Structure 1
Amino acid sequence: MSDPKRHHYLPEFYQKAWMGNDNKVTVYRRRHAGKLDIQRKARKSVGWESELYSDLSEADPELRQRVESGFLKRVDGLAYEALAEMLRTAAPPIDQQRASAWARFLMSLLHRHPARMALLRRAVELNMEETLERVRQQYPSLKGENDPESFDEYIVASRGRLQENVLALLLPRIVDSQKVGNALLEMTWGVGAARGTRFRFLTSDRPLMTSNGLGHRESFLVLPISPEFYFIAARRRETIEAFRLLKPNAFIAGVNHAVCLQAEEFVISHDETQTTFVDNRLGGSPFHPVVRDSQGSIFWDNPYRFDPWIA
């Protein structure tokens, strides 16, 4: 039986494609003095944090875990179906419901990471009055079926932990953003394979490779969905073609370069064949410095400027 307090920010279903015959994945982390640690681990032991999305203002155990056990469970369940279809057909989901579910999952990957949650907590704390007023106005659409009718009653019921209560309302709202979801759905989608190459795709706790924003002409995002397959969405079809025209080994190296540099804590691989590559990038290095924006993100250029360091 799964532990309801173990909240996965890198879902087990997504990690599954990197499993070996032992039903484990290879996990790279930095340990003492920056030494690279390599372990074979079960998916349930990777990419989780205790009560990461819990509403700590709730005494009721079920309501306390409603974001993880309710909202994110639905997000991941529908995304699992979309991912299975893409791996089976090597094409984006045709069904609109699955496409919407996949867009929602992509948004969740951006926002459910512990570092992003910490930023959201700080933002709520620093702008509590403004946040409360915004939540008050949106409360009718935010509240769940077990929440009080009015926002004032909601505040009273928070038992002095209003910040955690507001976070439990905001995360689903952010992940379910209609504006961003529509922007994703309006992009051109593709699924590509990289077979017969020297190396295979890696993934990490920050697996999405993205441009700076989704609304401009050169917008794109790339997500490895298995050691052999990747998902891509772009504002222009020419961007997808530019990626596909890259030499396969250079393309894999470029995506893996991004996946490793973005990683906050760990990188996942099917095996240990890319240990040197990961060691040169995880956590950054003099050759590969890590520069994040105020939200902890790293953005990448369109393929015509795509020149990864390969070593």
Structure 2
Amino acid sequence: MAAEGQRHHYIPVAYLKNWLNAEGKVCQYSRPHGKRVVAKSKHPSGTGYVRGLYEFFGVEDQHLRESLEREFMRPVDTRAAELLQEMLAGEQTMNNVEKRSSWTTFLLSLMFRMPEDIKFHKERYLRDWFKADPKRRKHYKRLWRPGMPNRVEEVIARMDPQEIEWRALDALIPLITNPRIAEFINRMQWGTFTLPFQVPALLTSDRPLILSGGLIDPDSHILLPISPKKIFYAVNDRRVIKFMMTCNPSELAFLINRTVTQQAVSYVFAQWDLHTEFVQRHMGTGQLPSLVERMQNNPGTLKGYRRLQRLRRKGLLP
């Protein structure tokens, strides 16, 4: 991952600000040297970022280099920040179609925007672009016209890897705004659940979204801690909501904290440094393949992903 460029926060600053303590900072747990967990007090703007993560490197025009961050990621996060404050204030954010769509885009961004996702996506995209398989040769024969190279391998050899990397970054937008996935999420039953004061505070991490196995099963659900005491949920069946409401609140907090900690790759966050032993025991022990990996390795979703790439190569998608 690039070491230069502007700070691009894959964990939005406005999201982490909900864990601010009386000192105006959050507690960041990480493993900078080996397996020992270290706690540091950080401002949300000073963590959860990679420089140049969404940058088009090699483009001389700085305005164009930052276009993905400026024109897509930042507006997604800005809108989500507004909706977060409404949810925390108890406003009826969920009933507005436009707001609902904006929040869904934010949730989807959390599934695709992490550094590991970006790295895997770029590598897979480059590999697919430079692969001359029989289907691609057959397709090229149909497209061939006099004056064009005789073999698709000649075309591939002339491709600029950096340009293909730019295309890979561009392809993040239709992945994050995927209408089929968004439709599933928008149809789910949404709400927030507030934990009692005496219950242990919720943690979050660089993999804060808790997803069930899929989105269409009756028990499917999405959970996201949005503050030390509040959870956003999206479910298909109200029985899942009933379970949360009747579950022992301390047990529910434990399950959520354990999951977001087990899923963590680099960071776990808390309001105060009270969880070192817990984080040490669970951090990174239950990492799942990213959604990008699951999509690209699943035969059904892989077919759709490759179709998306073909449409982009033909200029039929932006």
Same fold (TM over 0.5): yes
Q: Residue 245 of structure 2: SS of its match in structure 1?
A: helix
Tell me which amino acid in the other structure corresponds to 2:67: R
Provide the rounded CA distance (Å) in 2 between the counterparts of 1:18 and 1:281.
20
Give the Å deviation of 1:278.
1.4
Residue in 2 that maps onto 1:219: 220
Residue in 1 that maps onto 2:48: 47
Whether 2:23 is the aligned partner of 1:22: answer: yes
**Within-5 A mapping of 1:178-217:** 178-217=179-218
Q: Residue 94 of structure 2: SS of its match in structure 1?
A: coil
Give the Å deviation of 1:159.
6.5
Q: Residue 272 of structure 1: SS of its match in structure 2?
A: coil
Whether 2:112 is the aligned partner of 1:116: answer: no
**Within-5 A mapping of 1:130-279:** 161-279=162-280
Give the Å deviation of 1:58.
2.1
Deviation sequence 1:233-274 (CA, Å, 0-9, x none): 011111121122210000000000000000000100001222
Structure 1 contact 260–282 (Cα < 8 Å) conserved: yes
Give the Å deviation of 1:118.
1.1
Residue in 1 that maps onto 2:281: 280
Give the Å deviation of 1:78.
1.1
Distance 1:296 1:121, change over 3 A: closer
Give the Å deviation of 1:160.
5.4
Give the Å deviation of 1:183.
0.8
Provide the rounded CA distance (Å) in 2 between the counterparts of 1:239 and 1:181.
20
**Runs of at least 4 residues of structure 1 off by over 3 A?**
293-298
Provide the rounded CA distance (Å) in 1 between the counterparts of 2:269 and 2:293.
19
Provide the rounded CA distance (Å) in 2 between the counterparts of 1:184 and 1:294.
18
Match of 2:289 among 288, 293, 298: 293
Give the Å deviation of 1:80.
1.1
Q: Residue 224 of structure 2: SS of its match in structure 1?
A: strand
Residue in 1 that maps onto 2:107: 106
Provide the rounded CA distance (Å) in 2 between the counterparts of 1:58 and 1:33.
36
Give the Å deviation of 1:164.
2.0
Structure 2 contact 26–44 (Cα < 8 Å) conserved: yes
Residue in 1 that maps onto 2:82: 81
Provide the rounded CA distance (Å) in 2 between the counterparts of 1:262 and 1:160.
32
Residue in 2 that maps onto 1:127: 128
Q: Comparing 102-111 with 121-130, which one deviates more in the overlay? A: 121-130
Distance 1:82 1:294, change over 3 A: closer
Provide the rounded CA distance (Å) in 1 between the counterparts of 2:293 and 2:205.
14
Provide the rounded CA distance (Å) in 2 between the counterparts of 1:90 and 1:262.
30
Structure 1 contact 85–93 (Cα < 8 Å) conserved: no
Q: Comparing 205-214 with 92-101, which one deviates more in the overlay? A: 92-101
Residue in 2 that maps onto 1:9: 10
Count the aligned residue pairs: 268
TM-score (norm 1): 0.80
Give the Å deviation of 1:64.
0.7
Distance 1:51 1:245, change over 3 A: same
For structure 1, which runs of at least 5 residues remain unmatched after alignment?
A: 135-154, 285-289, 299-311
Give the Å deviation of 1:296.
8.0
Tell me which amino acid in the other structure corresponds to 2:204: T
Q: Residue 50 of structure 2: SS of its match in structure 1?
A: strand
